[in-house]
Amino acid sequence: MAMKYMHGGDIYTNQIDYDFSVNINPLGMPLKSIAAAHEGIAMAGRYPDYRCTMLKSAIAEKIAVDEEDIILGNGAAELIYALCHAVKPANALTVAPTFQEYEEAVNASGGSVKYYMLCGEDEFDIGNNILEHITDDTDIFFLCNPNNPTGRLINHDLLQDIIGKCEETDTILCVDESFLPFVRNGSALSVIGKLGISRGSILVIRSFTKIYGMPGLRLGYMVSNDRELLNRIRCQIQPWNVSIPAQMAGREALYDDEYIEKTLDMTEIERIYLNEGFKNVRIKKVYNGSANFMFFLADEMLYDDLYEQGFMIRDCSNMKGLCEGYYRIGIRSHSENQMLVRALKRIENKEP
């Protein structure tokens, strides 16, 4: 039986003109990263550096941690699975809805997941009562910030309380910050700054996939204050898991601050444009998010109607805690966003 695909971006089995189901930087890979990846392909006759020395050094300098506190992965997903195989959590906690790979990875390692259910009436925000769900029986708590698919940031004071509660209960805290680079001044909100002062085990996951527009290269990293745990995770990862092109492209991306500023400016402008364009009878509510995508509630036929117009959006009804009618779109280039808004207007007016 074939594995069911649970994510966006399945352009290989869907013939569409515009893919809004993914939340990838529409600027594409930085030009210097593309050039570096090409150079890396020419070097593909040798094995990659399994230590990822140069890339790890660049990351350590960028986020101000020791190189020994970093693990590189073939995308963030590999690191999530490696973590679960290393820890083998019997009882994991996360919120719902959120990124489904946390549950998949826990299940693959023989554990089970408990959920803190988010509520639309509360804008899908995490409440202070989340602390009651972190107990002595909780082996690991997965938290996505900003959350996917809602785009909501957790309250900073509550995040500090969560760190404290995880310390008290000896719960590993894994914070997925794959979308935090899309938040202006997001580094001030990162848990990375807490690693040196926390007594508990904290893991932070970052992805090159989203912010640097390189999902096809597969690159992510994990940083932690618990080196013993990191060593256990390393033992779960095969050697040479990060290719030469990925290592070289990632290193160049880290130095491209102008690219990040351009991304932030474009994302803010296009979010305003789409919010205005989404004032449509087919759309019931748009949730105010902080990432490079928009989460909204619409009528249940919107996916099919847009598909007929050549657009694919992310149907979120297969996410725990959501029902039919919840969707997510990535914020694309202005020309693509214009085409989407025009398609919505045609559907609203029942035009062909």
Please state, in angstroms and as integers, the Cα–Cα distance from residue 281 to each residue in 147, 346, 350, following that order: 27, 12, 12
Percent pLDDT > 70 in the chain is 96
First and final C-alpha spacing in the chain: 38
Q: How confident is the model at residue 352 (pLDDT cuts 50, 70, 90)?
A: low
| Share of residues in the chain with pLDDT > 90 (%) | 93
CA 276 to each of CA 23, 46, 295, 343, 344: distance values in angstroms, whole numbers, following the listed order:
20, 51, 14, 14, 12
- Please give the pLDDT value at position 168: 97
Give pTM, 2 decimals. 0.94
Domains and CATH numbers, the chain: 18-28+257-348 (3.90.1150.10), 31-254 (3.40.640.10)
Nearest to 216 by CA among 33, 53, 55: 33
Which pair of structure tokens corresponds to residue 190? 């990162």
Res 16: pLDDT: 85
How confident is the model over 29-57, as a mean pLDDT? Answer: 97
4 pLDDT higher than 60: no
pLDDT (average), residues 330-352: 93
| CA–CA separation, 338 and 330 (whole Å) | 13
Place of tokens 């893991």: 203
CA proximity to 292, closest of 210, 176, 177: 210
pLDDT tens digits, residue range 68-94? 999 999 999 999 999 999 999 999 999
- CA distance linking residue 311 with residue 212, whole number of Å: 23
pLDDT in tens, 156-186: 999 999 999 999 999 999 999 999 999 999 9
**Residue 312 in 3-state DSSP?**
strand
Predicted pLDDT of residue 2: 37
Predicted confidence (pLDDT) per residue in 22-41, tens digit = 999 999 999 999 999 999 99
pLDDT at 6 over 90: no
Tell me the C-alpha distance between 293 and 19, whole Å.
13
- Coil vs helix vs strand at 70: strand
**Cβ atoms of 315 and 303 closer than 8 Å:** yes
Tokens of 277: 């364009």
pLDDT value of residue 28: 95
Q: What pLDDT, on a 0 to 100 scale, did the predictor assign at position 15?
A: 72
**Cα 266 off chain centre by:** 19
What are the tens digits of pLDDT across the range 277-320? 999 999 999 999 999 999 999 999 999 999 999 999 999 999 99
Query: Is the pLDDT confidence value at 269 over 50?
Result: yes
- Is the per-residue pLDDT at 14 higher than 90? no
Residue (of 316, 313, 322) closest to 347 by Cα position: 313
Region 207-233: what's the mean pLDDT?
97
Mean pLDDT of the chain: 94
Cα separation, 129 vs 36, whole angstroms: 47
With cut-offs at 50, 70 and 90, classify the pLDDT of residue 229. Answer: very high
Rounded distance between C-alpha atoms, residue 280 and residue 302, angstroms: 11
CA–CA gap between residue 27 and residue 254 (Å, rounded): 15
Whole-number pLDDT of residue 197: 86
Averaged pLDDT for residues 8-19: 67
pLDDT band at 100 (very low <50, low <70, confident <90, very high): very high
- pLDDT confidence of residue 294: 98
The H or E element that residue 77 is part of is helix 76-87
Which whole number is the average pLDDT over 2-29? 72
Label residue 13 by pLDDT band (50, 70, 90).
low
User: What is the pLDDT at residue 138?
Assistant: 98
